[in-house]
Amino acid sequence: ENLQQAKDCKEAGNALYKEEKIKPAIRKYHEALLHLKACQARCTMLEFGSKATPGMDKQTQEEVDKVQAACLSNLAACLLKLPTCDYSRVVTYCNNALAIQPNNSKAVFRKGVAHYHMGNYSIARQYLKDAAKLCKGRDDMITKYLNLCAEAEASKK
């Protein structure tokens, strides 16, 4: 039940994000994460409360991880759209998503973008190159930020 509610909140967040309703989208992604925590807590309680009821099965855990990583990465995307962005929070959300899904190309890309905006051009370039490898194809936004990093580094010299 909590897992389905989390998925519904994530989808609602995605729809709001597409409509450029960033703050309501942020609320929906946070709500989804709360439902996932409740789902994990309930399974943990069941695990400790009864020998007959095991904790979360592998398939459910994979689904929870997938939704959680997506919400964290989407929160990073939302923050990047705000007029005043806390780039260190973007990096934190991306790190949390990558701890769950190390090959999440969107989280790697968003982490690179955040580092670019913080002036960490060589770090940004490395994450952007990693994102490009994960995407297995040309991505215009990755190329744009790689070029911006190169320009910024050249102007620093």
58 and 120 assigned to the same domain: no
18 and 92 assigned to the same domain: yes
| pLDDT for 26 | 98
Place of tokens 């929070």: 89
DSSP labels, 78-120: HHHHSSS--HHHHHHHHHHHHHH-TT-HHHHHHHHHHHHHTT-
Per-chain mean pLDDT for the chain: 91
Task: Kindly report the backbone phi and psi dihedral angles of residue 138, in degrees, each rounded to the nearest multiple of 5, phi listed first.
Answer: -75, 135
Question: Each residue of 22-66: pLDDT tens digit?
Answer: 999 999 999 999 999 998 887 766 555 444 445 678 888 899 999
Q: Which amino acid is at 62?
A: E
- The CATH number of the domain where 75 resides is what? 1.25.40.10
93 and 107 assigned to the same domain: no
The share of the chain scoring above pLDDT 90, in percent, equals 78
pTM of the complete model beyond 0.85: yes
Q: Which amino acid is at 13?
A: G
Answer with the one of 58, 84, 102 that is the final residue of a domain: 102
Q: Are 113 and 105 in contact (CB under 8 A)?
A: no
Rg (CA), the chain: 18
Distance CA 81, CA 79 (A): 5
91 and 149 assigned to the same domain: no
Q: What average pLDDT does the segment 131-153 reach?
A: 92
> What secondary structure letter does DSSP report for 156?
H
77 and 140 assigned to the same domain: no
Where is average pLDDT lowest: 32-46, 94-108, 142-156? 32-46
Token pair listed for 54: 């095991």
Q: Are 55 and 44 in contact (CB under 8 A)?
A: yes
Give the residue numbers spanning the domain of 84: 1-102
More confident residue, 143 or 50: 143
89 and 112 assigned to the same domain: no
Distance CA 50, CA 47 (A): 6
